[in-house]
Chains A and B, each alone.
Chain A
Amino acid sequence: MNKAGVRCWVLVVRKILCPTVILSSLILYPSSLLLAQHTRLYACIIGSDAPGSSMGGSSLGAGLWQSDDTAKTWRQLGWKHVKCYSVDVVNKSNGKIIFQACGNGVLRSTDAGLSWRMLTDWRITEVMDIAIDQTAPKNIYIATPAAIWKSNDGGDNWYEADSDIPYPVFVSRIIIDPKNHLKIYAAIDTAIYISNDGGLEWVNAKANAITVHDFVVDDIKRLTDVDKTGILISEDTDTVNTNGGNRSTYYHSPSLYSGANDTVQFQNGKTTNLPEVPKNIHSTIEIGEYILLFGSLDGGVWKYVYELGSTLPVRTGLDSEQVWRLKAVEVK
């Protein structure tokens, strides 16, 4: 075929076939428009609400679940039975490279959850959290009940990265500062520790240690820690004032946007009064504008849509599953 012929076929494909296929697809499968660019939700399940499914036991529903339609429907990804405490995704992989922090160790998928490989051995168990350095995704940190571990090769090998943190080292969360990938925050059971060099050295950010259940670092670099009595905010991300701040006792677990005076502040700056949420909320995330999702250990993901005269949160799937953590990722 000569060049003119090739050009002709290219024009046919570009001008006629492609639009036809796309138009047909949208008529037949309107959801494909939605799926083109959307928020993918992950729910980490540690067991069902049936007796015996947690604390040494497990259940069929334990593991990682995914929703591509704003929590309307959910499907389980890969492993069943194994408690999933946390998940992280390599941002540049468009949802393909996923890491799960599990009871059995760390699982990695490179095909968007179709298959999973166990990366850790008997030395690492009950992985409570995982954080991928998105600027250098081979660098991964995990939190366990006995140590912080780090991998420099995408999870194939691990070494302990907490040498200067005194025992006990029950680490419930590990977070990378969104503005500085070498700054790592670890929620230890007795304090928050901060590393400024990618985990080589750690300093105790709190002189007066309290039990830290969870914490977050927001876009304006406020460090927020949460314990049983509520939420405390640090404005400089290096120290947490244990004597000051207003502790909200409303959320058992953190909502970054929950603060003093019983209000919720959304990413867009709008605020609303705190909704009446179910008991044993363990995870809270905001998606889109005015939507909060809660993960409950009593079972289910709950959705709260803030509008004037809004109603109470409603359950939106995974009704009988204990939701430990929720995560939202943008995918195409």
Chain B
Amino acid sequence: MKVIPIFLFFVLFSQVNGQTPSLRRDVLYRISEKDYRPTFSCIATRLKLGMRKDLALKQLDTLLTKEYGDMFWMYSCTGLYFSTKKILPTSYKKKIRECWKKFTPYRGDTENHFLMYYSSLYLMSQEWPNLSASEWFMHCSSRELQKESEEYLNFWINKTVRYGQIEFDSPRYLYYFITPLILLAEYAKDTIMKKKSEMILEYLLVDYASQYLNGNFCGAHSRVGNDAAFDTRNAEAASYGEYFFEDSIKHLLPDIAFAALSSFKLPPIIKEIAHDRTEPYSEHAIKKSRDAIRYSTELNSSVYKNIFMTRHYSLGSIQGGLIQPIQQRSWSLTINSPQKNNIIFGLHPYVSEKELGMFFPEEPSFMLEKIDAVKNGYTSENKWVGGSPYESIRQWKNQIECSYDIPKDEKYQHVDLFLPGWGTFLSVDSMEKKMIRIQYDSCVVTIVPKTAFILQNKNDNFRLRLSLDSGKTSYFLACDTYDGFNEFDDEKSFCGKIDVPEGKRKEEWLFQSKFIESKLGSGILKIKNGTNERILDFNSITIR
């Protein structure tokens, strides 16, 4: 009985130019058949394929009855509406229209929230262009909503492509950028908005591709969830990595249906960049911190990001400090291995109402009291995500130096490193020398703590805990392949190395690597691989 749906699939999608038809077919059929909890994306898939249609409409009834209150509801409802517009029964279109009149969704407080909110409002006000104010939940007319949404989207795109993204390189939140941009690129009628959306989608995906290593999202992250803290292949972005960069998907996220239902196709050069690891390379990039609304002298400080990529491992970092609340990952070393938990990283477990007050408007002391109910484990001395204002990081290629100067009145007076348990400790006496050397597959990791430490075995992994000496500690870490490994000579091999792109000032470059180049403020991003080039020019809204 699958003959008809498969035939329908080819009728529906054979004319569009998305990712490969077989991949899209695979994604959509698997989403359609799997019993996920009801989501707009699953329902849209089933309606589009004509599979389990009665169930889909029943679930849609449920979703449209319950009053959902935020931008997550908005973008997914918008996705369903547009992707099924030609086949959705009129009665359901009317129900959706009513929801946009009566529901009053929260706009949220982050970059991804605002993008979801305004991309949805943009498309829905485009769909119903002449409605009066009383027909919308905001009591603003379609024209007013279209204007405001367009203004915000232009503001965000212009700022991001010239001065850097705020919620950058997030294994979890990247998908909340990709999905609304796919919807804009696919369904915006205005050709300029459509083109801009395609271009910034490419911008985000090439940024991801250059830090992608066989399914892993390497380097420092603005935000990483607890689930992906030890292995980014568990994160939501992995699903999009597989969809855009690979030929099959293991980690199937229902919302990827919106990508598979669209005609957006990744340019081959970006896919090549995700895979070309023939030669090691460094990439330097500038990002932005989240709006610091208290306790800071600058709203959005610049974040300087480094990544060193090889086919065996990748080491990446930012300069340290507190640039995002709760979920920051300041540095990580990712081993390209099929083993689970393939990341080494370190942090000072900073816990403070000041951190929460810096980024959230609510009462700081109250937030600290309640935070564990919102972000589990934030107050734990053993936590594995989060930044610290007392951390300072320098990276030079495959080596990193992390220093900590922690005041006495801070809650936790130690620094932790996570070491996956599947490595092999190379020498027993290395502890006495204050040098730890571990082999992970073909990589050797050397860590030199500068103060006393203990190694704790926790759940088959290791926690390396450094204590402070007069409030301070630091460590060096280097990684190399076993064959090419040279004796790591403590900091002597590190000092004096300059952490900037060769011959260039890091403050001047939004991106600088062999794959991506963009001068700060220029609005022009050059994507290159060998002799192939693709230039995204956000000034003229053209791709060359």
Asked if A and B bind, the verdict is yes
Contacts of A83 in B (CB 8 A): 106
**Do the beta carbons of A115 and B69 come within 8 Å of each other?**
no
Q: Which of A244-263 contact B (CB under 8 A)?
A: 252
Chain A residues within 8 Å of chain B by Cβ, number: 43
The answer to whether B107 and A56 touch across the interface, beta carbons within 8 angstroms, is no
In angstroms, Cα B292 to Cα A189, docked, is 12
Q: 1/0 per position for A44-56, CB-CB distance to B under 8 A?
A: 0010000110111
- Interface hit among B22-30, B132-140, B240-248, B330-338: B132-140
Query: Can you name the residue of chain A whose Cβ is closest to the Cβ of B371?
Result: A55
On whether A103 and B109 interact (CB within 8 A), knowing A54-B374, A146-B299, A297-B363, the answer reads yes
Q: Does B370 contact A (CB under 8 A)?
A: yes
Which B residues are CB-close (under 8 A) to A52? 373-374
In the bound complex, residues from chain B placing their C-beta under 8 Å from that of A39 are none
Contact indicator B70/A58 (Cβ below 8 Å): yes
Judge whether B303 is part of the interface by a CB distance below 8 angstroms. Answer: no
Q: Is the CB of B106 within 8 A of A118?
A: no
Task: Report if B177 contacts A (CB, 8 A).
Answer: no
Contact B139 A115 (CB under 8 A): yes
CB within 8 Å of A: which of B275-325?
A: 291-299
- Interface residues in B104-118 by Cβ distance below 8 A to A read 104-110, 113-114, 118
A81 in contact (CB, < 8 A): yes
A50 to B133, CA, bound (A): 33
Give the complex CA separation of A297 and B139 in angstroms. Answer: 30
Chain B residue nearest to A120 (CB atoms) is B148
- A86, B66: Cα distance in complex, Å: 27
Nearest B residue to A105 via CB reads: B107
Pair A57/B293 contact, Cβ less than 8 Å: no
B499 within 8 A of A: no
Contacts of B98 in A (CB 8 A): none
Given A55-B360, A126-B361, A280 contacting B109 (CB threshold 8 A): no
Q: Which residue of A lies closest to B108 (CB)?
A: A56
Residues in chain B near residue A56, CB distance under 8 A: 108-110, 113, 360
The answer to whether A146 and B106 touch across the interface, beta carbons within 8 angstroms, is no
Does B227 sit at the interface, judged by CB under 8 A? no
Contact present for B294 and A122 (CB under 8 Å)? no
The residues of B that contact A19 with a CB separation of less than 8 Å are: none
| Interface check A170, CB cutoff 8 A | yes
Q: Among residues 341 to 364 in chain B, which have CB atoms less than 8 Å away from a CB atom of chain A?
A: 356, 360-363
| Cross-chain contact of A79 among B104, B294, B363 (Cβ < 8 A) | B104
CA distance A94 to B151 in the complex (A): 37
In this assembly, does B13 line the interface, its C-beta being within 8 Å of a C-beta of chain A? no
The distance in angstroms between the C-alpha atoms of A57 and B68, with both chains bound, is 12
Q: Which residues from B are CB-within-8-Å of A60?
A: 67, 69
Total A-B pairs, Cβ < 8 A:
113
Q: Which residues on B sit within 8 Å (CB–CB) of A167?
A: 297-299
Residue in A closest to B366 when the chains form the complex, CB atoms: A297
A145 to B105, CA, bound (A): 21
- B104 close to A170 (CB less than 8 A): no
Are B69 and A46 in contact, CB atoms less than 8 angstroms apart?
A: no
Would B294 and A168 count as touching, CB distance under 8 A?
A: yes
Residues on the A chain within 8 Å of B369, using CB: 280
**A5-60 contacts to B (CB < 8 Å):** 46, 51-52, 54-60
The minimal Cβ–Cβ distance linking A254 to chain B, given in whole angstroms, is: 13
A62 contacts the other chain (Cβ, under 8 Å)? yes
A232 to chain B, nearest CB (A): 18
Cα-based distance from A185 to B297 in the complex (angstroms): 22
A294-325 to B contact mask, C-beta < 8 Å, 1/0: 00010000000000000000000000000000
Interface flag for A116 (CB, 8 Å):
yes
List residues of chain B with CB within 8 A of the CB of A54: 362, 367, 370, 374
Q: Given contacts A62-B106, A116-B139, A118-B140, are A55 and B297 in contact (CB under 8 A)? A: no
- Residue B365 CB within 8 A of the other chain: yes
Q: Is B152 an interface residue (CB 8 A)?
A: yes
Write out the residue numbers on chain B whose beta carbons fall within 8 Å of the beta carbon of A282. 363, 366
Asked if A153 CB lies within 8 Å of chain B CBs, one says no
A80 within 8 A of B: yes
Q: Which residues of A contact B371 (CB under 8 A)?
A: 55
Check A82 against B362 for contact (C-beta < 8 Å).
Answer: no
* Contact A82–B110 (Cβ < 8 Å): no
Of chain B, the residue at the smallest CB distance from A50 is: B373
Q: Which residues of chain B are near A121, meaning CB under 8 Å?
A: 148, 151-152
Residues of B within 8 A of A46 (CB): 362
CB-contacts of A61-107 with B (<8 A): 62-63, 78-83, 85, 103-105
Interface presence of B36 (CB below 8 A): no
Closest 8 CB pairs of A and B: A81-B69, A117-B139, A51-B373, A145-B293, A58-B106, A79-B104, A122-B152, A118-B138
Q: 13 interchain pairs (CB within 8 A)?
A: A46-B362, A54-B367, A56-B113, A58-B69, A59-B69, A62-B69, A78-B104, A81-B104, A104-B107, A117-B138, A146-B291, A170-B361, A280-B369
Q: Which residues of B contact A (CB under 8 A)?
A: 67, 69-70, 104-110, 113-114, 118, 133-134, 137-140, 148, 151-152, 155, 291-299, 356, 360-363, 365-367, 369-371, 373-374
Known pairs A146-B293, A170-B293 / 9 extra A-B pairs, C-beta < 8 Å: A51-B373, A60-B67, A62-B69, A63-B104, A104-B106, A117-B139, A121-B151, A122-B148, A168-B295
- On A, residues with C-beta under 8 Å from B are 46, 51-52, 54-60, 62-63, 78-83, 85, 103-105, 115-118, 121-122, 125-126, 128, 145-146, 167-168, 170, 189, 213, 228, 252, 280, 282, 297
